[in-house]
Amino acid sequence: MRLPHLLPFAAAFLAQASGAESLHVGAGQAYRTVAAALAAAEPGDTLLVTAGLYHESGLVASRQVTLLGEPGAVLDARGGQTILDIRADGVAVIGLTFRNVGVNHLRESGAIWISRVRGVHIEKNRFERAFFGVYGLQAVGAVIRGNRFEGLRSGELSNGNGLHFWKSDSLTITDNHVQGHRDGIYLEFTGNTFVSGNVCEGNARYGLHFMYSNGNSYQRNVFRENGAGVAVMYSDRVDMRDNRFERNWGPASYGLLLKSLRDSRIERNTFSHNTVAVFQEGSSDLVVSGNDFRRNGWALRILADCDRNLFENNRFESNTFDVAYNPSMGNSNIFRRNTWDRYAGWDLDRDGTGDVPHRPVELFPALMLRHPQAASLLRSHFVTLLNALERLFPTLSPASLEDAEPRMPLPRGRASVTRKQT
């Protein structure tokens, strides 16, 4: 027997063992509506919502209860406002479909609102055509796991976020699929949070967007075909590793946008087919290590206000441009032991490290940033000459911006090893 069919029996058993009750909701049941069952429920009770369509919104869970839906149990707001407002600690919502939450920019209606509570669990639900999916305000310890979110697919102005949390802490957001929203996941003033195993794709602005959110970890997520992949702003102590940033294309699109980020690690990620894989502004004391940059427009665009960053053991392969650097008088960023497919040096002692440094900043990308029409010259011999002159006589980047220990690229025609996604 499949797990979803076992849930009602398990809930009934646990409720009986603990002295709590199971309240059955649906046609021919003790309670015909979810609202009636919530009004009658006591702390610890479980509401078993049978399959069917329930035209309900404005529901309030003010006691610690579990809402457990059978497959096919649908709560439909019919274009109305928030369906479920959770106002008690420890509420669990499992296996329900929330549908048709209307646009309201003043109230910011979400299928589920979580307000000033702890330990809420929202698992294995579906959110269809919802303005906001889950909206959290001062929530602590919430678990959002295994849900599927589909927004209104109507652009930025008339669309909300899939998961939106403000002034919250210690969240667990794992194994969700989020698409068709403004931002897939949005966190503001939300720290100590673990985000893992999510797929955010086809969102109008960012797959993940967070601001003023410190001490968070983002692992094994996929950010694909969004307006931009991820925006990280005004935050400290962020750990981003083993994520995939794919096909985030557009005139102002990034795989990963870093603005005023400090003391953080970006490791073992894959950046593929992005307009700009990583754009870095005002960000310092970062370790960018073990990442793959493949087939992007720009792999790295670094502004001169970025200091003391370490770029090591990364692979740069088949990018149009590897590094663009905003000119400055000095440079405190370090490149070392990276693999560059453009490296033209040699390895006489065959230790795998090039015998001469590699200068990753070329002249033509800097000119093209100022004069986009110059892209028509991209494959010309004139561009090759300009880049050779920049390597010999640096003018647009400090002489210290070089990789003194470049790893030797694989011979042409030999397939490179692709890191297995964990």
Task: Report the topology of domain 1-213.
Answer: Pectate Lyase C-like (2.160.20)
Taking the CA atoms of residue 285, residue 288, residue 294 and residue 298 in that order, the dihedral angle to the nearest 10 degrees is: 10
Q: What is the rounded CA–CA span in Å between residue 22 and residue 168?
A: 31
CB count within 10 Å of CB 374 equals 14
**Tokens, residue 72:** 């096919």
Tell me if 268 sits within 8 A of 242, measured CB to CB.
yes
Q: What is the rounded CA–CA span in Å between residue 278 and residue 255?
A: 6
Supply the pLDDT for residue 158: 81
Supply the pLDDT for residue 253: 84
Supply the pLDDT for residue 155: 74
* pLDDT (tens place) for every residue of the chain, 422 residues total: 344 444 544 554 444 445 679 999 999 999 999 999 999 999 999 999 999 999 999 999 999 999 999 999 999 999 999 999 999 999 999 999 999 999 887 778 999 999 999 999 999 999 999 999 999 999 999 999 999 999 998 777 789 999 999 999 999 999 999 999 999 999 999 999 999 999 999 999 999 999 999 999 999 999 999 999 999 999 999 999 999 999 998 777 899 999 999 999 999 999 999 999 999 999 999 999 999 999 999 999 999 899 999 999 999 999 988 998 876 667 889 999 999 998 989 999 999 999 999 988 866 666 666 656 555 555 555 556 666 666 666 665 566 688 999 999 976 544 444 444 43
Q: What is the rounded CA–CA span in Å between residue 375 and residue 373?
A: 5
Supply the pLDDT for residue 377: 56
Question: Which residues make beta-bridge pairs with 22?
Answer: 46
Supply the pLDDT for residue 387: 61
Dump pLDDT digits (tens) for 334-366.
Answer: 999 999 998 989 999 999 999 999 988 866 666
**Phi and psi, residue 334, nearest 5°:** -120, 130
Supply the pLDDT for residue 108: 85
Supply the pLDDT for residue 250: 78
Amino acid at 266: I
Q: What is the rounded CA–CA span in Å between residue 402 and residue 405?
A: 9
Residue with tokens 């042409």: 412
Question: Which residues make beta-bridge pairs with 143?
Answer: 121, 172
Residue 35, SS3?
helix
Buried b (16+ CB within 10 A) or exposed e, 320-359: ebbbbbbebeebebebbbbbbebbeeeeeeeeeebeebbb
Q: What is the rounded CA–CA span in Å between residue 409 and residue 112?
A: 51
Supply the pLDDT for residue 9: 46
Amino acid at 203: N
- 111 phi-psi bin (left φ>0, alpha ψ -120 to 50, beta other): alpha
Pairing type for strands 244-246 and 172-174 reads unpaired
Q: What is the rounded CA–CA span in Å between residue 381 and residue 305?
A: 33
Q: Tell me 252's DSSP state.
A: T
Tell me if 85 sits within 8 A of 61, measured CB to CB.
yes
First to last CA, the chain: 30
Q: What is the rounded CA–CA span in Å between residue 400 and residue 269?
A: 26
Question: Which residues make beta-bridge pairs with 317?
Answer: 294
- 311 phi-psi bin (left φ>0, alpha ψ -120 to 50, beta other): beta
Tell me if 54 sits within 8 A of 73, measured CB to CB.
yes
Q: Tell me 332's DSSP state.
A: -
Please report, for the chain, the start and end positions of each structural domain, with discontinuous segments joined by +. 1-213, 215-222+229-361+397-422
